[in-house]
Structure 1
Amino acid sequence: MIRCVSILTWVAVLSGLVSAQQPARPQPVPAPFPVPSAPPPPAAPLIQQALLPVDPALRTGQLANGLRYYVRRNARPANRVSLRLAVNVGSIHEDDNQRGLAHFLEHMAFNGTENFKPGELINFLESIGARFGPHVNAYTSFDETVYMLEVPTDRPGYVDRGLLALHDFAAGMQMLADEVEKERGVVIEEWRGRLGAGSRLTDKQLPVLLAKSRYAERLPIGTPETLKSFPRQRILDFYRRWYRPDQMAVVVVGDIDPADARKLVEQRFASIPAVTSPVETIDRAVPAHKETTFSIATDPEAQGWSVAIAHKRPVKIEATVADYRQSLIQQLATQMLNLRLREIARRPNAPFLGAEAGGSGLGRTIELYQLGAAVPEGGIAAGLEALIVEARRMQQHGFGAEELDRARAGLLSSYERAFKERDTSESSGYADEYVRAFLEAEPIPGIEFEYRIASTFLPSVTLAEVTAEARTLIRDENRVVMVVAPEKKATPAPTEAVLRATMAKAEKVPVEAYTDALAGRDLVEKPPAPGKVTARRMVASVGATVVTLSNGVEVWLKPTDFKNDQVIISAYAKGGGSLASEADYTEASLATSLVGIGGVGGLNPVELSKLLAGKIASASPTIGTYTHGISGQASPRDLETALKLNYLAFTAPNLTRESFELMKRRIGGVIENQAQNPAYVFNEKVDQLNTSGHYSAKALTVADIQQLDLEAMARFYRDRFSNAADFTYFIVGAFAVEEITPLLERWVATLPSTGKKASNFRDMGVRFPSAVARDAVKKGREPRGQTVVSFFADTKLDQYEMHRARAAASLLGIRLRDILREELGGTYGVSAAYEDSLPLSGHGSVVVQFGSDPDNIDKLTGEVMKEIERLKAQGPSPDDVKRVQELERRDLETATKQNAFWLGSLQTVHMLGWDPDSINRRQDRIEKLTPQVLHETFKHYFPLDRHTVVTLRPEQP
């Protein structure tokens, strides 16, 4: 897997909202994180000049050969351990004739090593419940390669065998000639999978952003010329030259005794010979430049117009308490600037659809701070001017006291939540943090110490300090302006001369101090008189209490201890978009988008953010195909706020003309260029074919958006949320039933209601084709193919049948991976999944999809059909069934300790009228999977006379 810094973040989110990025922690030239002999005692006063300590729960050390290790006990998830091998080697270490070999080497780790024959490691890991992808993976970036495993700890030998695999990655890869040749095809297909507008734009931007550096010409994926032709000896040479123990770290975090883990690490890794020669120096410098440089990248398939200003600066080493405090100040400045940008984006005729500021690492020597905006067609110059003006406003006038108070409250609440969750945090999060500590010298003082810094210093941060930091974020030197635009004759991208003139103009625009317009008010200015609980019953089998409120609403309550600071909420009613006519379906499907943009209670989303600063609470209306409802979450202390937002979604949605026009503008900006996107056109074709051309699967067009009817949209929304008795609520998380009951009586029992359920699903006539159907899309310029094969699978919503269909699809996915990827080298990834038709039966399906060379589509599709025919005729092997069973058992172990699992499961069994105790019988359903059962499943749910095939090939071969 490839991982590298995305320089086109603002392009990727076509909704017009730039991906939010917290300022990255500084990333110095890699060196092991200095570990003091002991952290300062918790009671010691915070001295700003003091070095940041290391979390006392962490055990770290160094073997005689130079390899470092990080070990920690953590009980979430139980009976699991997260393992990492971090190698301080990436694509920047490649010679010109080795382009792509660092990443290719990562692939070879799973294809034959000293202790695992080709294919043996993946088979072993899946046999113990570790899924390829979520639990077994690796990535290569410019600067590093990281291998990741998650294995059970409840059976002898599993952890040791996982560490044995990491040992082999470090020093035991064999690079067998046959395996290298087979893997060429897989890596070429991974290269092929990135082809498209995004990669072409990146290839144009990188040489400007990273000019005159090795990074500019060292994308981890490499070049197809090298990947197709390099001799085996060349990758062996790279491995032996760069994979050395003094450039590696092993991380072990999970449900294991640290002393035992450390002993296992020593046993497995101490035997790797030390390398006595000095580590070779790689030039990571990105040369500075005083003049602003420009990159204007256009592409026929570009999905929108965007402009960004990026300031490059040397990485700051965050080593002391004072350094950490300064990073908090940068986060405050960024939060306040982003709220201003969101506010501007809501104005009529705003210069951008959405904008965002943020910092990110870019290699090991520099970091970026960037302002980016998605703009309307032809709006590059106006968007650039607006970004510069707002940056100047921030730097000249700073921020207001109210802005700082809100940002401070929000940042502190995020630290407080992390602190509260310190005992329920996942091992994988800690493991990844320690990888960054080794590779990037990220501080690892632990959340207790970090929360202490934040709670101590955030209240004392002054406006002057924030303004001073803001003035360092965007400067004239080392500045790059990057533009992305579709290629349109009628609306050409601006030239560099136009951009320079725009910037000069923006520098002369008089800027006044920002005016904060929000006056203090309550979220709900006139709270309703509370209703009451009229009935209560226990569902002991699932640990739930069900209360009925005086307005007819039923609420399922399941307190848990899975997370200390999380409560999640879901409510559903039968109906959703199915209750709309075909003529009004578009309005129905977008009605909640209108509320999302408009807000509730007379407050738009920006105003709500201001009013609720420091609170962790949300509640958003949803309208799906067959249901409508509410989705929300909160910190336990802010649960009442979430219920107030739920109340306002029913009683006071902002369905205004202003919000309507803003919604049309934003959605129109998203979809106006999607017809040029091959993947979008292809997916629409799949949806259309698999629903027999149903109107609910039709893709939106700009004309559809322009013809939207506000009154129809508002009417449909109000109708769906006019009778609370139609809804059933599910609340799961860290709360006590007796404490939440008064809140339900105040904010849920008072929702408008007739007292009786009236809404129901409507069968819209969505049907899978009755025979074999095929279609083909020719779109795009690159030699990139895509195939989706779908089989009719109507389980009639029987619990056991649905489970068997999912298990069969899972098994098929494993078999196709072994054939299409491992044996034939024909694809990077293939998946198979059962898609149900909840809540109505009649059009479920099993969907197989893979990418490939367009010339291989027919061959690989034939292999898919051949394997399905074999499974229908012979059934699966006992070993494959056991593998699927163990994967499901292990998935269930962790799922049942997650709030989201219980929320979704309770809602599903309620909607389908199943016994709630059936949730607990999932293990029984797993145990009843046998080769004979799945043989019958394959015969029944993979009809060769009722399936669809859709292919994507380029317009020109």
Structure 2
Amino acid sequence: MRNPAPLVLSLALAAAAVFLMVRKPDPAPSPSEESPTAEAAVAEAPAAADPADRIPSPWPQSVSDIPADSDIQFGTLENGMRFIILPNDEPPKRLSVRLHIAAGSLMEADDQQGLAHFLEHMVFNGTKHFTPAELIPRMQRLGIAFGAHANAYTSFDETVYMLDLPDLSEPTLDLAFTVMRDFADGALLSQEEIDKERGVILSEMNSRDSIGYRIMKKQFQALLPDSLITRRFPIGQADVIENAQRDRFVDFYHRYYTPSRMTFVVVGDLSTDDVRQRIEKSFGNFAEPENPGGNPDLGKVETTPSTEPLVFSDAELPATSLSMMWIKPFEDRIDNRENRAEAMRLALANAMIGRRFDRLSKESDAAILEGSASSQDLFRAVTIGSVDVTVTEGRLDDAVTILEHEYRRALEHGFTEAELAEAKANVLNYYEQQVANRESRRSDSLATWIARTINERSVLSSPETDLEVAKSILEEVTPKDCHAAFLEFWKDSQPRLVMTAKEAPEDIAQQLSTRFAEAATQPVEAPEEAEVKTFAYTDFGPSGMVADRSTAEDLGITRLTLSNGITVNLKPTDFDKNRISLLARIGHGRLGMDPGKPGLAEFTDAVVNEGGIGEHSAEELRRILAGRNVGSGFGVGEDSFALSGTTTPDDLALQLQLMTAQLLHPGTRQEAIDQFRRSVPMIYQQLRHNAGGAQQKMSAWLRNDDPRFSFPEEPDTLLAYTADDILPWLAEDFTSAAIELNVVGDFDPETLEPLILSTFGALPQRPAATELPEAQRTVTFPKAPQEKEFTYQSRIERGQSMVIWKVPGPRGNEEQFRRFNLVADILADRLREEIREKLGASYSPSAQAAGSLGLDDFGFLLTASIGKPNDIPTLNEASRRIAADLAENGADEDELTRARTPMLAELEKSLRDNGYWLGTVLNGSTQDPRRFDLARHRIEDVRSITLDEINALAKKYLNSESALSVSILPVP
């Protein structure tokens, strides 16, 4: 169970991750008004700090000694709009497009706060070519599903629209390019549709609210008091959202959605010439306005802040965190070899400091749960350095000392050869894998990556070039170089000590200052060179043999039964180059757990993952495996234990040795137990103050509060567990239960087979199958109709409506469950239209079919909507009413088509996904041979589903008398 990173770990990361408003787009309204014109007032719009800086031009490679990837075509239309085209055939016959606009919330005037993001919604609400009722249905009929294939986000300095096309048919391509051009300058922005959308935006504002978000805003304001950044969070201000009129939208749209701020990114299986022609045709007559908006002055960056610690407290925070932060103005540097070398030296230094915190966090009486060091640039205006730790409860003074000492140890003594060797090995391996996996890069990921580099102005160099540059740097870099880079970054700094905590005594700032000053007077010793041991598990005895072999030729799957009874399923693939995924399925997992020990699964999961293996601690393994593509993840599944890993052909032997060693010698070291125990207060704090805690209770309630699926009410239960609680449970399955090993990916079966025989094949005899008593696969579902309330402690005014209908579970019933998935998709679309668009009561209402492949007959349909607590009864009633209408009156053929077509697109796509073959087809197929047939016929089966089948299921299961109405509510 991972600890969350400190809240002030990096404001830059916060901006990149927390504040990106990723969302499902909205439907489009009627074209009741003319397109935006220059009528809007411009007096309050930001003026350019530097007019030439408005366009991120020239291309970064034109001023760099690093060439761009020769496969990428860069171009600029006469109007100033830029484009980037990258041919890529994975997956085949698909295309991903991104429209990047170098404008976000930082460009807003005071009375436009939130309108950059609001505008992102509005371009879906009526354009030149699409009426309100057209856009979403048109996309769905072509297989473009929201969330899966269509999305958008607004950040501080950019807005990006994203479409992933399921095919290259002319109607699909025509829609994509027409939609993107409409987004650029064809939004109608009718006042009526703006007014209708206000509730959706306010609901989104509510759904994104959290204690962490509020604390982070305060941190921005305290650390950058004179910066515009602190006053331009993308979600905006409620009063502006409620009252802004059309002219303020038109002003922003006309001034900032301009060709010179736009870059069109196209990645996929289409010729460059074809794409270029379509871009020129679609955007060639897009005109730059006479008075385009400029970039704002982001304000002063204070480089000599007060030395008094900053303290932020809130009873709902999960844990105490400490940071030393250094903020300075951004220094613009071109992306070239020299600057990459400088950045890499500092990154290596930060990585080595992070590893020191890792080791300290694993000590028996550690005062920290984790720590890290980082440096980030923020919007080309601010550079932030940060050294952070998360504090073990009750150990604040000691954590202050650790933070100060490790920071100063790096400043005074630098780093060791062994530390650098480990960090270099990991970095080099990363770049080597980028080259090895080049042919497997997915178009959607590439398009998103390209879009997110535009404002960074970094060269889009090839993986081969990146590796060559990295190698040249790593071959020369020394511990002394990394020390110098760290000193250079932190020179002239006055680091600010920042604390976030559940509680903060009035004099805590003075206490922190005193403790920090005391720590600074204490000498710190140079780090010692660490010994790197040799991996101890390479010989497991005589190799086994293949007792039986069978092949499903149409699926490309070979099944081996080894002489010791272990089953091995092999699926070689060529669409994920140099990558192999492995999954060992063992025993019975959670279903075989002692029902008298609630929470034992979570305890076991955490301890085994951090406990290493017999001869090696987790820390030793990290050093031994540095630079290798090897790792073994342990998990307690519902009806099995799992060992999993992803590797390469070169490291396949070591990967199999590691997994076999973990089977024979699972780690339950006391250091891992102590580490888990230190995290328990934080776990319960999160459960107490987060909706996830209430949802966990709901999940247990759906299973009749079966202790195997419940979490202990009090932490003492978890704190009392020891290795003696884990080992008998694991030993029963790890030593005597059936094992199924599944391998999918880029491997040669003739090479792999002897490696398996010398590892898994050398294990003691196993049964072919070990069935659980049926009683252990059974839970009692709550009786309906029923209303149920679950609460959590929070002052955030956000509740959740969930309405649940019992349906037959997917275990042995997969074909029918596919139909329930379609019912859920149709219901979700109706929820969107009614609850989001008409009522404006919830930002993202959803529906899904869920169930268990381990429990017998455990399945349900669920609707979920987030809203204000007072609105939860209304949301529950609306969900029941919409579902009841579907049950009574049924869906129509168009609704079925709009649900089924995107589903088929995803099914086709998954055929080139190792995760699908590993997790859905192979995993569990030894005990359930039907999985192969289900894979063979699933697309044909989905195509065969009739409207009568869908309506019959809705009629039978979605009536109000069968509904469980659940309210998840905050309480003081």
Q: Partners in 2 of 1:383 and 1:591 — Cα distance?
A: 27
TM-score by length of 2: 0.91
Structure 2 residue 462 is matched with structure 1 residue 462: no
**Mean CA deviation greater in 66-75 or 508-517:** 508-517
**2:121 corresponds to which letter in structure 1?**
H
Q: Partners in 1 of 2:135 and 2:726 — Cα distance?
A: 55
Q: Partners in 1 of 2:54 and 2:433 — Cα distance?
A: 30
Structure 2 residue 541 is matched with structure 1 residue 517: no
Which residue is 2:892 aligned to?
877
**1:844 corresponds to which letter in structure 2?**
G
Structure 2 residue 902 is matched with structure 1 residue 890: no
Which residue is 1:42 aligned to?
none
**1:838 corresponds to which letter in structure 2?**
L
1:198-252 alpha-carbon deviations (Å, 9 max, x no partner) = 2221232120122210001111101111111112222122212222211111111
Which residue is 1:849 aligned to?
864
How far is 1:286 from its partner? 4.4
Structure 2 residue 811 is matched with structure 1 residue 800: no
1:765-805 alpha-carbon deviations (Å, 9 max, x no partner) = 42211222222245422322211111101146312111111
Which residue among 480, 490, 507 is the counterpart of 2:496?
480
How far is 1:331 from its partner? 2.5
Task: Tell me: CA distance 1:266–1:433, structure 2 relative to 1, closer, same or farther (3 Å).
Answer: same
Q: Partners in 2 of 1:626 and 1:831 — Cα distance?
A: 28
Residue pair 1:541, 1:916 contacting (<8 A) in 2 also: no
Which residue is 1:785 aligned to?
799
Q: Partners in 1 of 2:774 and 2:489 — Cα distance?
A: 55
Q: Indicate the SS of the match to 2:497.
A: strand
Which residue among 679, 686, 689 is the counterpart of 1:674?
686
Which residue is 2:175 aligned to?
161
For residues 721-736 of structure 1, what are the structure 2 equivalents within 5 Å? 721-723=734-736, 726-736=738-748
Which residue among 834, 837, 847 is the counterpart of 2:852?
837
Which residue among 221, 243, 253 is the counterpart of 2:267?
253
Structure 2 residue 579 is matched with structure 1 residue 566: yes
Which residue is 2:780 aligned to?
767
Task: Tell me: CA distance 1:862–1:475, structure 2 relative to 1, closer, same or farther (3 Å).
Answer: farther
Which residue among 131, 134, 139 is the counterpart of 2:148?
134
Q: Partners in 1 of 2:873 and 2:662 — Cα distance?
A: 50
Q: Indicate the SS of the match to 2:153.
A: strand
For residues 216-231 of structure 1, what are the structure 2 equivalents within 5 Å? 216-231=230-245
Q: Partners in 1 of 2:216 and 2:787 — Cα distance?
A: 34
How far is 1:539 from its partner? 1.6
Q: Indicate the SS of the match to 1:359.
A: strand
Which residue among 401, 406, 413 is the counterpart of 1:385?
401
**1:456 corresponds to which letter in structure 2?**
S
Task: Tell me: CA distance 1:294–1:744, structure 2 relative to 1, closer, same or farther (3 Å).
Answer: same
Q: Indicate the SS of the match to 1:749.
A: helix
**1:443 corresponds to which letter in structure 2?**
V
Structure 2 residue 187 is matched with structure 1 residue 173: yes
Q: Partners in 1 of 2:276 and 2:651 — Cα distance?
A: 42
Residue pair 1:626, 1:761 contacting (<8 A) in 2 also: no
**1:10 corresponds to which letter in structure 2?**
P
Residue pair 2:738, 2:768 contacting (<8 A) in 1 also: yes
Structure 2 residue 763 is matched with structure 1 residue 751: yes
Task: Tell me: CA distance 1:278–1:593, structure 2 relative to 1, closer, same or farther (3 Å).
Answer: closer
Which residue is 2:29 aligned to?
none
How far is 1:503 from its partner? 2.5
Residue pair 2:60, 2:334 contacting (<8 A) in 1 also: no
For residues 411-422 of structure 1, what are the structure 2 equivalents within 5 Å? 411-422=427-438
Q: Partners in 1 of 2:146 and 2:16 — Cα distance?
A: 28
Which residue among 658, 663, 677 is the counterpart of 1:645?
658
Task: Tell me: CA distance 1:954–1:917, structure 2 relative to 1, closer, same or farther (3 Å).
Answer: closer
Q: Partners in 1 of 2:687 and 2:632 — Cα distance?
A: 33
Task: Tell me: CA distance 1:335–1:377, structure 2 relative to 1, closer, same or farther (3 Å).
Answer: same
Q: Indicate the SS of the match to 1:440.
A: coil
1:896-932 alpha-carbon deviations (Å, 9 max, x no partner) = 1010010112225444331513202111111112211
Q: Partners in 2 of 1:630 and 1:434 — Cα distance?
A: 34
For residues 566-715 of structure 1, what are the structure 2 equivalents within 5 Å? 566-666=579-679, 668-700=680-712, 701-715=714-728
Residue pair 2:5, 2:390 contacting (<8 A) in 1 also: no
**1:243 corresponds to which letter in structure 2?**
Y
Task: Tell me: CA distance 1:747–1:473, structure 2 relative to 1, closer, same or farther (3 Å).
Answer: farther
Q: Partners in 2 of 1:382 and 1:871 — Cα distance?
A: 60
Q: Partners in 1 of 2:308 and 2:451 — Cα distance?
A: 34
**2:902 corresponds to which letter in structure 1?**
L
Structure 2 residue 972 is matched with structure 1 residue 934: no
Which residue among 351, 359, 363 is the counterpart of 1:347?
363
How far is 1:762 from its partner? 5.4
Q: Partners in 1 of 2:99 and 2:671 — Cα distance?
A: 53
Task: Tell me: CA distance 1:315–1:627, structure 2 relative to 1, closer, same or farther (3 Å).
Answer: farther
How far is 1:744 from its partner? 0.4
Q: Partners in 2 of 1:944 and 1:726 — Cα distance?
A: 44
Residue pair 1:100, 1:223 contacting (<8 A) in 2 also: yes
Q: Indicate the SS of the match to 2:321.
A: strand
Structure 2 residue 26 is matched with structure 1 residue 10: no
**Mean CA deviation greater in 813-822 or 855-864:** 855-864
Q: Partners in 2 of 1:165 and 1:21 — Cα distance?
A: 26
Q: Indicate the SS of the match to 2:578.
A: coil
How far is 1:279 from its partner? 4.8
Which residue among 803, 815, 825 is the counterpart of 2:830?
815
How far is 1:495 from its partner? 2.1
Task: Tell me: CA distance 1:286–1:937, structure 2 relative to 1, closer, same or farther (3 Å).
Answer: farther
Which residue is 2:380 aligned to?
364
Residue pair 2:847, 2:861 contacting (<8 A) in 1 also: yes
Q: Partners in 2 of 1:208 and 1:12 — Cα distance?
A: 12
Task: Tell me: CA distance 1:919–1:908, structure 2 relative to 1, closer, same or farther (3 Å).
Answer: farther
Give the length in aligned residue pairs: 925
Which residue among 877, 882, 894 is the counterpart of 1:862?
877
How far is 1:681 from its partner? 3.5
For residues 269-288 of structure 1, what are the structure 2 equivalents within 5 Å? 269-277=283-291, 279-288=293-302
Which residue is 2:320 aligned to?
305
Q: Partners in 1 of 2:103 and 2:409 — Cα distance?
A: 42
Q: Indicate the SS of the match to 1:10.
A: coil
Q: Partners in 2 of 1:811 and 1:114 — Cα distance?
A: 28
Structure 1 stretches lacking a partner, 5+ long: 1-7, 23-27, 39-48
Coordinate RMSD, CA, aligned: 2.4
1:496-540 alpha-carbon deviations (Å, 9 max, x no partner) = 222222322232221111113334322416543322222222121
Identity %: 28
Q: Indicate the SS of the match to 2:613.
A: coil
Task: Tell me: CA distance 1:267–1:754, structure 2 relative to 1, closer, same or farther (3 Å).
Answer: closer
TM-score by length of 1: 0.93
Q: Partners in 2 of 1:444 and 1:427 — Cα distance?
A: 15
**2:391 corresponds to which letter in structure 1?**
V
Residue pair 2:95, 2:164 contacting (<8 A) in 1 also: yes
For residues 376-455 of structure 1, what are the structure 2 equivalents within 5 Å? 376-455=392-471
Structure 2 residue 204 is matched with structure 1 residue 190: yes
Residue pair 1:587, 1:709 contacting (<8 A) in 2 also: no
Residue pair 1:72, 1:258 contacting (<8 A) in 2 also: yes
Which residue is 1:34 aligned to?
58
Q: Indicate the SS of the match to 2:646.
A: strand
Task: Tell me: CA distance 1:945–1:315, structure 2 relative to 1, closer, same or farther (3 Å).
Answer: farther
1:342-372 alpha-carbon deviations (Å, 9 max, x no partner) = 0110012212011122233322212322222
